[in-house]
Amino acid sequence: MFKPLEYLKETPSQTAGPYVHIGMTPNNCEITGVIPEDLGLQVVSEGAKGDRISVVGRVIDGAGSPVIDCVVEIWQADANGIYNSPMEHRSGGDSHFSGWGRQPANANGEFAFETIKPGSVPYANGMMAPHITFWIVARGINIGLQTRMYFSDEEDANSTDPILSKARMLGRDNTMIGRRDGNTVTFDIYLQGENETVFLDI
């Protein structure tokens, strides 16, 4: 039985602190012996199906400076639009594809993921455009920021995507588009300022 809401107390918010990237990626920070390797380094295994791509970008603060102590995670469906998740009710997921990755930004605020281009996934009234979900955490961010990256070579699918359509109403859909050039997709994330990326309240 659920407790009445008046018994549920809100937990005070706290910042991630200056060491969040160290705790999440200790080997990258030259702290060895904690875990064999940092989690999320490899999204794609040999034999994975789909269009191999590199997703690269920078995390930039409101002053235009790179955020050097952030951690970026991605979550996505496989090439057939199926998630590698216990909550996925469809069968046929790619066992060679984890669908999740984690990378710390480097000294220039840059991140890079080797992955595949995801397929479209269904929602209540149709299909969402191919996209990758990003989660960013860093010192001074109370709650991890979540956004999506869509693909510049999916104009037709993007035009009907429900999330991207809402951002388009505000003239900010371009902040969620990754620019594809060959096998490289570039996606810069702006935390504040004129070019601030659309973040999702989830």
Give the separation between CA 99 and CA 86, rounded to whole angstroms.
Answer: 12
In this structure, is the dihedral angle defined by the CA atoms of residues 61, 67, 69 and 70, taken in order, positive or negative?
positive
Q: What is the pLDDT of residue 93?
A: 87
- Residue 93: inside a domain: yes
* DSSP notation for 51-110: -EEEEEEEEE-TTS-B-TT-EEEEE---TTS---STT--SS---TTB--EEEEE--TTSE
- Identify the pLDDT of residue 15: 64
* Dist CA 134 CA 137 (whole Å): 10
Q: What is the CATH number of the domain that holds 186?
A: 2.60.130.10
Closest to 138 measured CA to CA, from 11, 14, 55, 15: 15
| Residues spanned by the domain of 130 | 15-190
In a domain? residue 201: no
Q: pLDDT tens digits for 143-152?
A: 899 999 999 9
* Count: domains in the chain: 1
What is the structure's pLDDT at 7?
64
Residue 87's Cβ-count burial label (10 Å; 0-12, 13-18, 19+) is exposed
Predicted pLDDT of residue 86: 80
Tell me if 86 is assigned to some domain. yes
Rounded Cα distance between 171 and 183, Å, is 27
What's the confidence (pLDDT) of residue 17? 67
In a domain, 87, yes or no: yes
Write down the pLDDT at residue 5: 57
Q: Is residue 141 part of a domain?
A: yes
Give Cα 166 distance to the centre of its chain: 19
Tell me, what's the pLDDT at 26? 85
In a domain, 81, yes or no: yes
pLDDT in tens, 92-104: 888 999 999 999 9
Residue 202 lies in a domain: no
What pTM value is reported for the model?
A: 0.88
Is 196 inside any structural domain?
A: no
> Which pLDDT value is given to residue 88?
79
pLDDT 10s digit of each residue in the chain, 202 long?
A: 455 556 667 776 666 666 777 888 888 888 999 899 988 888 999 999 999 999 999 999 999 999 998 999 999 999 999 998 888 788 888 899 999 999 999 989 999 999 999 999 998 888 999 999 999 998 878 789 999 999 999 999 999 999 999 999 999 999 999 999 999 999 999 999 999 999 998 7
User: Which residues lie below 8 Å from residue 68, measured CB to CB, with a gap of 6+?
Assistant: 105, 106, 107, 108, 109
The helix or strand, by DSSP H or E, that contains position 23, with its residue range, turns out to be helix 20-24
